[in-house]
Amino acid sequence: MIAKLKGILDSLADGAAVIDVGGVGYLVFASARTLTALGQPGAAVSVLVDTHVREDHIHLYGFASAAERTCFRMLQTVQGVGAKHGLSILSVLSPDEVFTAIAAQDRAMLTRADGVGPKLAQRIVNELKDKTVNVALGLGADATAPARAAAVAGHAGDDTMADAVSALVNLGYGRAEAFGAVSNARQALGEAAALDRLITLGLKELAS
């Protein structure tokens, strides 16, 4: 299995790149985020790879970071989510944003991706909520502190946190951003933080 490619970017196409490694061109499918990070043809590049082997083809999927590849693999554990859906989601959301959307149960955030409707988005948040904790914590330096905080808070969420998130949503903030702010507030204040303090600190973070 190919796990990594390092070479020269030969060309870019819609949803894919050709990477020249020692004179051999590898067609690598990738998210718009990763394709942008690769730069222009002629640049030296390195991508992590997830290799999919089927009876009729071998496809290579490339990623600029371990977090993106891990998120791609996690998404595909959901029934009905294929590689195309995974890349579509990662084209519009960073891995951190995917983790936060799942922890916050914010299906609307996932429907920004082409081909992901409300039903599929709901299935994703339902099936992956408990997995985001291990994934975010296991990524170490590749996962930011907000991603880890949101995943853990989503897993261990309580009524106080839910009420704080609802309060911020009622003030006009998006559910995912409200959830992230309240998650960080609870991490700073502790598990026993009062509702008014969570709301106040969450608002302060959103306003900063």
pLDDT at 172: 79
Q: For residues 60 and 2, give the distance between their C-alpha atoms in angstroms, rounded to a whole number.
A: 8
State the Cα–Cα distance between residues 89 and 39, nearest whole angstrom: 21
Q: Give the tokens for residue 79.
A: 């029934």
Nearest one of 144, 141, 61 to 98, comparing CA atoms: 144
The overall average pLDDT reported for the chain is 85
Assess whether the region 4-64 and the region 67-207 belong to the same CATH fold: no
Taking Cα atoms as reference points, which of 110, 101, 90 lies closest to residue 183? 101
State pLDDT tens for residues 48-104: 999 999 888 899 999 999 989 989 999 999 999 999 999 999 999 998 888 888 878
Q: In this structure, what token pair is assigned to residue 117?
A: 């409707």
Task: Give CA–CA dist 185/189, Å, rounded.
Answer: 6
DSSP 194: -
CA-CA distance, 61 to 58, in Å (whole number)?
10
Fold (topology level) of 67-207: DNA polymerase; domain 1 (1.10.150)
Select the CATH number that applies to the domain covering 4-64 from these four: 3.40.50.2300, 3.30.390.10, 2.40.50.140, 3.30.2130.30. 2.40.50.140
pLDDT above 90 for 19:
yes
Encoded tokens for 67: 């977090």
User: 68 or 157: which carries more pLDDT confidence?
Assistant: 68
Beta bridge pairs of residue 4: 48
Highest mean pLDDT among 25-34, 66-75, 105-114, 165-174 belongs to 25-34
What are the boundaries of each domain within the chain?
Answer: 4-64, 67-207
Instruction: Read off the pLDDT of residues 160-206 as tens digits, 9 standing for 90 and up.
Output: 877 888 888 888 787 777 888 888 888 888 777 888 888 888 888 88
What is the per-residue pLDDT for 93?
94
Question: pLDDT tier at 140 (50, 70, 90 boundaries)?
Answer: very low
